[in-house]
A and B are shown apart, each in its own frame.
Chain A
């Protein structure tokens, strides 16, 4: 098997507090192939954004990687010095943030910001960089790009700004783009446009994407694989269609049932009782056990790790036998 583009191994992110360290991300592992779109879903506080920030080396202190490794094309990137990481960030890993208003500097024109990014990473002259910048804006669907490039961020609408942010993320031709809730701040009609642009442009530039969102609908339409996170751990990871149609982990199936859809008529939504535990009191064993309707003794004591079931992995003791059976045959 060839080396995956990105490999995250047993990532643990901790926050020191007065009452001892809090573990916000606990043992997350996954691989991402070149050109693949991986969706990461979960509720607020599940650790999805932290995982993204850790990959690109932008964890806000005091949060820090307590253990685990992150490899980009086989090369370890989680322990680099800040200067070394800076050469990777932007050049090899691009980032699209949630709020397009705060991710652009209001005091500089779009041209300044794009050209600066391009010239930081690529050896191009001012004129060549400008040409590339206009091309990028054109690609992400900004009309009259050669004129609008000299505008300031406030002269663009929310959707247009997010297009600029995508252009910025792709400016240096990264291999991986991390998009953290790229459409949450936008209206539905614009959201659809932005998702299309993001997917199309990343495919065209050959970049893999990690799409972090709480919106399962967006993932369903965009991603190849999906990782469902709960309490800082991956509950289930596998191909999008299969997980949506036939979720294995009780949390995932509850989550899918709780989403009202346009397609089917349901009288009541499936509801998962309770809410996600606080980081300070994650229960022992499986973190989902107090809310799970299929819970048994083992769940309350031992923590399940990802168990391969069919072509996906599920962190649930219900499937332990499947593995044993699979190994036996």
Chain B
């Protein structure tokens, strides 16, 4: 199966050296009076990855690691400070050119909270039809209506639900509506930003199953963002682990869980409470994510890393090839980190 990756096919998404810097300075007068320089927060720091057609790449990380910022930049809701995004070989520059409008039809996004992402004053049918109308996919109102009905059935609701308002639905049903809306312009690529975090587990299972079925049926490509490692394991082919705005490891999903390389990935896996782990003795996790305004020098994980040495404090690590992916860690590169003890 892994041979597929050897094909020289253009990836659907290619992200190179993407960065996003936010100006978090105090107002001008305060800065002058308090003699403080401007302050910047590097939310995303030099991130590169690619997503192949039909696969699911997941980004995991704790709050403040830059997951959602990357998602927003990918769909053009936020302008990158540096770096490029190629969509099927074409640069993504968000403007109103015709080329962009064509490209715009090919990707969509599903947001975290279905309570906030649906306009409460719009009927469900209008909500779902909006991308078709705005992007000019379909102009004929009868065809739009037919397509909306079809989409509602596709996500497991009934065509009659189109005339209702969002408040008449439960959280899980609303997320189905959000999925139907994302599908209405026939996109190839969908960015899913924590699509199930606001839902209860039994409903989460329904939505995750639905998303996988749709992927099989429609050949969709997903960027799946979540903080929940077990959900990610279930959904992704490959996983990228983010820490303080930078990718620290990218690997094949199964292998990442079997043999995590980067010390942060190991810590994260170790910390997840899991059903099968009743009464297990877990290693105490040290510390918390540092302030991203003043990140540590060298490898940003070094203050929490049990394997850190003086080189880690000094030098920013580059990529090291691992068996099933890459990791940004001096320790892994030098081979001084013992093999992970996780037996899953």
Contacts and interface: CB of A to CB of B under 8 A. Distances in A.
Interface residues of B, number: 44
A150 interface: no
Contact of A262 (B171, B229, B278, B288): B229
Nearest to B282: A192
A220 B277 contact: yes
B230 A261 contact: yes
Max chain A C-beta neighbours (<10 A), residue from B254, B280, B282, B288? B288
Given A189-B285, A260-B234, A240 B278 contact: yes
Contacts of B268: 188-189
A254 B205 CA distance: 10
8 contacts: A217-B275, A220-B277, A221-B279, A241-B279, A244-B278, A255-B202, A256-B275, A262-B269
B146 to A, nearest CB: 27
A215 B273 contact: yes
A312 B276 CA distance: 20
Interface stretch (B130-138, B158-166, B206-214): B206-214
A321 B191 CA distance: 51
A261 B288 contact: no
B244 to A, nearest CB: 13
B271 interface: yes
B208 A241 contact: no
A190 B279 CA distance: 18
A275 B276 CA distance: 26
Contacts of B231: 260
Contacts of A268: 209, 212
B205 A272 contact: yes
Max chain A C-beta neighbours (<10 A), residue from B212, B275, B279, B344? B275
A195 B282 CA distance: 11
Interface of A: 43-44, 157, 159-160, 187-193, 195-196, 214-218, 220-222, 240-241, 244, 254-266, 268-273, 275-276
A214 B275 CA distance: 13
B172 interface: yes
Contacts of B234: 260, 266, 269
Interface string B254-288: 10010000000001111111111111101011001
Interface of B: 62-63, 170-173, 200-206, 208-209, 212, 227, 229-231, 233-234, 254, 257, 267-280, 282, 284-285, 288-289, 344
Contacts of A220: 273-278
Given A187-B227, A244-B278, A263-B344, A270 B288 contact: no
B202 A195 contact: no
Contacts of B209: 268-269, 271
Contact of A192 (B170, B201, B257, B273): B273
B271 A43 contact: no
Contacts of A222: 273
The 4 closest A-B pairs by CB, nearest first: A217-B273, A258-B205, A43-B200, A187-B62
A258 B234 CA distance: 11
Contacts of B277: 217, 220-221, 263
A217 B288 contact: no
Contacts of B170: 275
A271 B274 contact: no
Nearest to B212: A268
A130 to B, nearest CB: 26
B332 to A, nearest CB: 20
A262 B208 contact: no
A262 B62 contact: no
A184 B29 CA distance: 39
Given A261-B230, A262-B344, A275-B171, 7 more contacts: A190-B288, A191-B271, A214-B200, A217-B274, A258-B204, A263-B277, A269-B205
A283 to B, nearest CB: 16
A215 B282 CA distance: 18
Nearest to B206: A271
B245 to A, nearest CB: 15
Contact of A193 (B204, B229, B285): B285
Given A215-B273, A262-B269, A44 B282 contact: no
Max chain A C-beta neighbours (<10 A), residue from B63, B201, B270? B201
Max chain B C-beta neighbours (<10 A), residue from A159, A254, A268, A273? A268
A313 to B, nearest CB: 20
A137 B8 CA distance: 58
A257 B273 CA distance: 16
Contact of A263 (B63, B267, B273, B274): B274
Contacts of B172: 275
Given A44-B200, A189-B62, A190-B288, A264 B205 contact: no
B274 A262 contact: yes
B322 to A, nearest CB: 19
Max chain B C-beta neighbours (<10 A), residue from A159, A272, A275? A275
Contacts of A195: 273
A261 B276 contact: yes
Contacts of A275: 170-173, 200, 202-203
A267 B114 CA distance: 26
Contact of B275 (A189, A196, A259): A259
Given A193-B285, A263-B274, A258 B202 contact: yes
B285 A192 contact: yes
Nearest to B63: A187
A188 B275 contact: no
Contacts of B233: 260, 262
Nearest to A158: B288
A143 B289 CA distance: 16
B284 A196 contact: yes
Given A196-B284, A260-B233, A188 B227 contact: yes
Contact of B201 (A244, A258, A264): A258
A193 B283 CA distance: 10
A201 to B, nearest CB: 14
A220 B282 CA distance: 13
Nearest to B203: A275
A273 B210 CA distance: 12
